Structure 1
Protein backbone atom coordinates (compact mmCIF):
# COMPACT_ATOMS: atom_id res chain seq x y z
CA UNK A 1 0.00 0.00 0.00
CA UNK A 2 2.86 2.36 0.86
CA UNK A 3 4.49 1.76 -2.53
CA UNK A 4 1.29 2.96 -4.21
CA UNK A 5 0.28 5.83 -1.94
CA UNK A 6 3.48 7.47 -0.66
CA UNK A 7 4.49 8.73 -4.15
CA UNK A 8 0.98 10.18 -4.65
CA UNK A 9 1.09 12.05 -1.34
CA UNK A 10 4.64 13.32 -1.90
CA UNK A 11 3.88 14.43 -5.48
CA UNK A 12 1.25 16.76 -4.02
CA UNK A 13 3.79 18.26 -1.59
CA UNK A 14 2.84 16.42 1.61
CA UNK A 15 4.47 13.83 3.82
CA UNK A 16 2.76 10.48 4.22
CA UNK A 17 2.71 10.20 8.02
CA UNK A 18 1.23 6.71 7.97
CA UNK A 19 -1.33 4.32 6.54
CA UNK A 20 -3.86 2.24 8.47
CA UNK A 21 -5.78 -0.65 6.95
CA UNK A 22 -8.68 -1.68 9.17
CA UNK A 23 -10.77 -4.62 8.03
CA UNK A 24 -13.86 -5.19 10.17
CA UNK A 25 -16.10 -7.67 8.42
CA UNK A 26 -17.87 -5.95 5.53
CA UNK A 27 -16.52 -2.53 6.54
CA UNK A 28 -12.95 -1.97 5.43
CA UNK A 29 -11.25 1.37 6.02
CA UNK A 30 -8.06 2.58 4.40
CA UNK A 31 -6.87 5.66 6.29
CA UNK A 32 -3.99 7.77 4.96
CA UNK A 33 -2.46 10.37 7.27
CA UNK A 34 -0.77 13.31 5.56
CA UNK A 35 1.35 16.03 7.15
CA UNK A 36 2.94 19.33 6.17
CA UNK A 37 4.97 21.89 8.16
CA UNK A 38 2.25 24.50 7.47
CA UNK A 39 -0.56 22.16 8.51
CA UNK A 40 -3.13 20.22 6.52
CA UNK A 41 -6.36 21.73 5.22
CA UNK A 42 -9.60 20.05 4.20
CA UNK A 43 -8.77 20.99 0.60
CA UNK A 44 -5.41 19.22 0.90
CA UNK A 45 -7.11 16.07 2.18
CA UNK A 46 -9.60 16.23 -0.69
CA UNK A 47 -6.84 16.65 -3.29
CA UNK A 48 -4.86 13.70 -1.92
CA UNK A 49 -8.04 11.64 -1.69
CA UNK A 50 -8.87 12.28 -5.37
CA UNK A 51 -5.38 11.32 -6.55
CA UNK A 52 -5.12 8.30 -4.25
CA UNK A 53 -8.56 7.08 -5.37
CA UNK A 54 -7.49 7.26 -9.00
CA UNK A 55 -4.35 5.20 -8.32
CA UNK A 56 -6.25 2.68 -6.20
CA UNK A 57 -8.93 2.32 -8.89
CA UNK A 58 -6.29 1.50 -11.50
CA UNK A 59 -4.11 -0.76 -9.34
CA UNK A 60 -7.04 -2.34 -7.42
CA UNK A 61 -4.98 -3.67 -4.46
CA UNK A 62 -8.01 -4.18 -2.20
CA UNK A 63 -10.67 -6.74 -3.07
CA UNK A 64 -14.20 -5.73 -2.20
CA UNK A 65 -15.62 -2.44 -0.99
CA UNK A 66 -13.67 -0.10 1.25
CA UNK A 67 -13.69 3.49 2.43
CA UNK A 68 -10.70 5.73 1.76
CA UNK A 69 -10.14 8.39 4.38
CA UNK A 70 -7.40 11.04 4.15
CA UNK A 71 -6.68 13.18 7.20
CA UNK A 72 -4.03 14.98 9.19
CA UNK A 73 -2.46 13.02 12.08
CA UNK A 74 -3.91 15.60 14.48
CA UNK A 75 -2.72 16.48 17.97
CA UNK A 76 -3.03 12.89 19.20
CA UNK A 77 -1.04 11.72 16.20
CA UNK A 78 -0.50 8.00 15.76
CA UNK A 79 3.11 6.84 15.61
CA UNK A 80 4.12 4.28 13.00
CA UNK A 81 7.91 4.28 12.70
CA UNK A 82 10.99 4.30 14.91
CA UNK A 83 11.92 7.68 13.42
CA UNK A 84 8.56 9.13 14.47
CA UNK A 85 9.09 7.86 18.04
CA UNK A 86 12.61 9.34 18.04
CA UNK A 87 11.29 12.68 16.74
CA UNK A 88 8.65 12.71 19.51
CA UNK A 89 11.11 12.13 22.36
CA UNK A 90 9.96 14.04 25.43
CA UNK A 91 6.27 13.69 24.52
CA UNK A 92 3.68 11.77 26.53
CA UNK A 93 2.36 8.72 24.68
CA UNK A 94 -0.01 5.79 24.98
CA UNK A 95 1.29 2.51 23.56
CA UNK A 96 -0.64 -0.74 23.14
CA UNK A 97 1.28 -3.94 22.48
CA UNK A 98 0.13 -6.91 20.39
CA UNK A 99 0.98 -9.32 23.21
CA UNK A 100 1.50 -8.66 26.92
CA UNK A 101 4.93 -7.63 28.22
CA UNK A 102 5.49 -8.11 31.95
CA UNK A 103 1.78 -8.88 32.26
CA UNK A 104 0.44 -5.80 30.51
CA UNK A 105 -0.38 -4.58 27.01
CA UNK A 106 -1.10 -0.90 27.69
CA UNK A 107 1.56 1.62 28.63
CA UNK A 108 1.42 5.37 29.15
CA UNK A 109 4.50 7.45 29.74
CA UNK A 110 7.17 9.70 28.27
CA UNK A 111 9.00 8.70 25.10
CA UNK A 112 12.72 8.86 25.91
CA UNK A 113 13.92 7.91 22.43
CA UNK A 114 14.82 4.76 20.57
CA UNK A 115 17.59 2.21 20.92
CA UNK A 116 18.12 -0.17 18.04
CA UNK A 117 14.64 -1.36 17.09
CA UNK A 118 13.10 -0.54 20.48
CA UNK A 119 11.16 2.45 21.80
CA UNK A 120 12.26 3.67 25.22
CA UNK A 121 9.20 4.61 27.28
CA UNK A 122 9.47 5.92 30.83
CA UNK A 123 6.48 5.00 32.97
CA UNK A 124 6.82 6.58 36.41
CA UNK A 125 10.30 5.51 37.59
CA UNK A 126 10.67 2.55 35.22
CA UNK A 127 12.02 2.57 31.65
CA UNK A 128 10.63 0.01 29.24
CA UNK A 129 12.30 -1.05 26.00
CA UNK A 130 9.42 -1.93 23.69
CA UNK A 131 10.29 -3.56 20.34
CA UNK A 132 8.69 -1.63 17.46
CA UNK A 133 7.42 -4.92 15.99
CA UNK A 134 5.45 -5.64 19.18
CA UNK A 135 3.66 -2.26 19.17
CA UNK A 136 0.08 -2.54 17.93
CA UNK A 137 -0.72 1.16 18.33
CA UNK A 138 1.04 4.25 19.65
CA UNK A 139 -0.36 7.77 20.00
CA UNK A 140 0.89 11.08 21.33
CA UNK A 141 -1.13 12.42 24.25
CA UNK A 142 -1.91 16.05 23.40
CA UNK A 143 -0.83 18.84 25.73
CA UNK A 144 -3.58 21.32 26.48
Structure 2
Protein backbone atom coordinates (compact mmCIF):
# COMPACT_ATOMS: atom_id res chain seq x y z
CA UNK A 1 0.00 0.00 0.00
CA UNK A 2 1.35 3.45 -0.89
CA UNK A 3 2.25 6.03 1.74
CA UNK A 4 -0.61 8.31 0.67
CA UNK A 5 -3.10 5.41 0.80
CA UNK A 6 -1.93 4.48 4.31
CA UNK A 7 -2.36 8.10 5.42
CA UNK A 8 -5.87 8.37 3.96
CA UNK A 9 -6.89 5.00 5.43
CA UNK A 10 -5.72 6.06 8.89
CA UNK A 11 -7.51 9.39 8.53
CA UNK A 12 -10.77 7.62 7.63
CA UNK A 13 -10.26 5.21 10.52
CA UNK A 14 -9.70 7.81 13.25
CA UNK A 15 -11.77 10.80 12.05
CA UNK A 16 -15.20 9.67 13.36
CA UNK A 17 -13.76 8.78 16.77
CA UNK A 18 -12.07 12.18 17.04
CA UNK A 19 -15.11 14.16 15.92
CA UNK A 20 -17.37 12.39 18.44
CA UNK A 21 -15.03 13.50 21.23
CA UNK A 22 -14.42 17.08 20.12
CA UNK A 23 -10.92 16.55 18.71
CA UNK A 24 -9.58 17.82 15.41
CA UNK A 25 -7.35 15.72 13.18
CA UNK A 26 -4.55 18.06 12.12
CA UNK A 27 -2.32 15.73 10.14
CA UNK A 28 -1.18 12.15 9.58
CA UNK A 29 2.39 11.29 8.58
CA UNK A 30 3.81 7.93 7.58
CA UNK A 31 7.56 8.38 7.23
CA UNK A 32 10.76 6.39 7.34
CA UNK A 33 13.52 7.74 9.56
CA UNK A 34 16.69 5.70 9.47
CA UNK A 35 15.61 2.07 9.43
CA UNK A 36 12.30 2.70 11.26
CA UNK A 37 8.85 3.65 10.01
CA UNK A 38 6.70 6.08 12.02
CA UNK A 39 2.95 6.61 11.82
CA UNK A 40 2.32 10.00 13.41
CA UNK A 41 -1.12 11.35 14.12
CA UNK A 42 -1.38 15.00 15.14
CA UNK A 43 -4.53 15.96 17.03
CA UNK A 44 -5.81 19.13 18.67
CA UNK A 45 -8.89 20.51 20.45
CA UNK A 46 -10.00 23.83 21.87
CA UNK A 47 -7.79 24.50 24.86
CA UNK A 48 -5.16 22.02 23.63
CA UNK A 49 -4.71 18.32 24.20
CA UNK A 50 -2.85 16.62 27.00
CA UNK A 51 -1.00 13.34 27.48
CA UNK A 52 -4.17 11.55 28.64
CA UNK A 53 -5.97 12.57 25.43
CA UNK A 54 -3.05 11.27 23.37
CA UNK A 55 -3.09 8.00 25.30
CA UNK A 56 -6.82 7.42 24.71
CA UNK A 57 -6.53 8.18 21.01
CA UNK A 58 -3.43 6.01 20.68
CA UNK A 59 -5.17 3.09 22.40
CA UNK A 60 -8.22 3.39 20.15
CA UNK A 61 -6.15 3.73 16.99
CA UNK A 62 -3.87 0.82 17.94
CA UNK A 63 -6.91 -1.45 18.21
CA UNK A 64 -8.32 -0.25 14.87
CA UNK A 65 -4.95 -0.67 13.16
CA UNK A 66 -4.59 -4.19 14.56
CA UNK A 67 -8.07 -5.09 13.27
CA UNK A 68 -7.65 -3.63 9.78
CA UNK A 69 -3.86 -3.92 9.34
CA UNK A 70 -3.40 -1.26 6.61
CA UNK A 71 0.34 -0.83 7.25
CA UNK A 72 2.49 -3.55 5.60
CA UNK A 73 5.63 -3.00 7.70
CA UNK A 74 6.52 -2.68 11.36
CA UNK A 75 6.13 0.91 12.58
CA UNK A 76 5.98 3.09 15.67
CA UNK A 77 2.65 4.82 16.36
CA UNK A 78 2.88 8.33 17.79
CA UNK A 79 -0.14 10.46 18.73
CA UNK A 80 0.62 14.03 19.73
CA UNK A 81 -0.29 17.68 19.63
CA UNK A 82 0.79 19.57 16.51
CA UNK A 83 2.74 21.89 18.80
CA UNK A 84 3.16 25.64 18.86
CA UNK A 85 4.18 25.73 15.20
CA UNK A 86 1.08 23.89 14.06
CA UNK A 87 0.85 23.13 10.35
CA UNK A 88 -1.92 24.90 8.44
CA UNK A 89 -3.04 22.09 6.13
CA UNK A 90 -6.53 23.23 5.13
CA UNK A 91 -8.09 26.52 4.13
CA UNK A 92 -10.02 26.50 7.42
CA UNK A 93 -6.70 26.28 9.30
CA UNK A 94 -5.35 29.29 7.41
CA UNK A 95 -8.55 31.26 8.06
CA UNK A 96 -8.25 30.57 11.83
CA UNK A 97 -4.66 31.84 11.74
CA UNK A 98 -5.56 35.39 10.60
CA UNK A 99 -3.94 37.81 13.03
CA UNK A 100 -1.25 35.32 14.03
CA UNK A 101 2.37 34.89 13.01
CA UNK A 102 2.89 32.39 10.18
CA UNK A 103 5.67 30.85 8.11
CA UNK A 104 4.68 30.17 4.50
CA UNK A 105 6.68 28.63 1.67
CA UNK A 106 5.66 28.75 -1.98
CA UNK A 107 6.43 26.48 -4.92
CA UNK A 108 7.83 29.30 -7.08
CA UNK A 109 9.37 32.55 -5.87
CA UNK A 110 7.13 35.58 -5.37
CA UNK A 111 8.72 39.00 -4.95
CA UNK A 112 12.07 37.22 -5.24
CA UNK A 113 11.52 34.88 -2.29
CA UNK A 114 10.02 31.49 -1.55
CA UNK A 115 9.58 32.01 2.22
CA UNK A 116 7.40 34.49 4.05
CA UNK A 117 7.42 34.86 7.83
CA UNK A 118 5.22 37.45 9.46
CA UNK A 119 1.69 38.32 10.56
CA UNK A 120 -1.16 36.90 8.49
CA UNK A 121 -3.30 39.99 7.92
CA UNK A 122 -6.07 38.36 5.92
CA UNK A 123 -7.14 35.30 3.96
CA UNK A 124 -10.11 35.13 1.58
CA UNK A 125 -9.67 31.50 0.43
CA UNK A 126 -7.82 32.84 -2.63
CA UNK A 127 -4.96 34.94 -1.25
CA UNK A 128 -2.99 35.29 1.96
CA UNK A 129 -1.84 38.77 2.90
CA UNK A 130 1.29 38.56 5.04
CA UNK A 131 3.04 41.50 6.74
CA UNK A 132 6.82 40.91 6.98
CA UNK A 133 8.46 43.85 8.65
CA UNK A 134 7.33 46.94 6.74
CA UNK A 135 6.43 45.02 3.60
CA UNK A 136 3.11 43.39 2.71
CA UNK A 137 3.00 40.31 0.45
CA UNK A 138 0.01 38.87 -1.36
CA UNK A 139 0.44 35.11 -1.74
CA UNK A 140 -2.00 33.14 -3.92
CA UNK A 141 -3.27 30.14 -1.95
CA UNK A 142 -2.70 27.83 -4.92
CA UNK A 143 1.03 28.59 -4.82
CA UNK A 144 1.46 27.71 -1.13
CA UNK A 145 3.71 24.68 -0.66
CA UNK A 146 3.43 24.67 3.13
CA UNK A 147 2.19 26.89 5.92
CA UNK A 148 2.42 26.76 9.70
CA UNK A 149 2.06 28.96 12.72
CA UNK A 150 5.34 30.61 13.66
CA UNK A 151 6.97 31.83 16.81
CA UNK A 152 8.65 35.11 15.92
CA UNK A 153 10.91 36.77 18.45
TM-score category, normalised to shorter length: 0.7 to 0.9
Q: Which runs of 5+ in 1 are unaligned?
A: none
Q: What pairs with 1:125-140 in structure 2 (closer than 5 Å)?
A: 125-132=135-142, 134-140=143-149
**TM-score w.r.t. structure 1 length?**
0.80
Corresponding residue of 2:4: none
Residues 28, 105 of structure 1: alpha-carbon distance in 2 compared, 3 angstrom cutoff: farther
Aligned residues: CA RMSD: 2.4
How far apart are 1:95 and its partner, in Å? 1.7
Q: Which runs of 5+ in 2 are unaligned?
A: 1-7
Runs of 4+ in 1 over 6 A off after TM superposition: none
Checking the alignment, whether the CA contact within 8 Å between 2:122 and 2:130 is kept in structure 1 is yes
Q: Specify the structure having the higher radius of gyration (Cα).
A: 2
Greater mean alpha carbon deviation, residues 116-125 or residues 57-66: 116-125
Q: Secondary structure at the match of 1:17?
A: strand
Corresponding residue of 2:71: 62
**TM-score w.r.t. structure 2 length?**
0.76
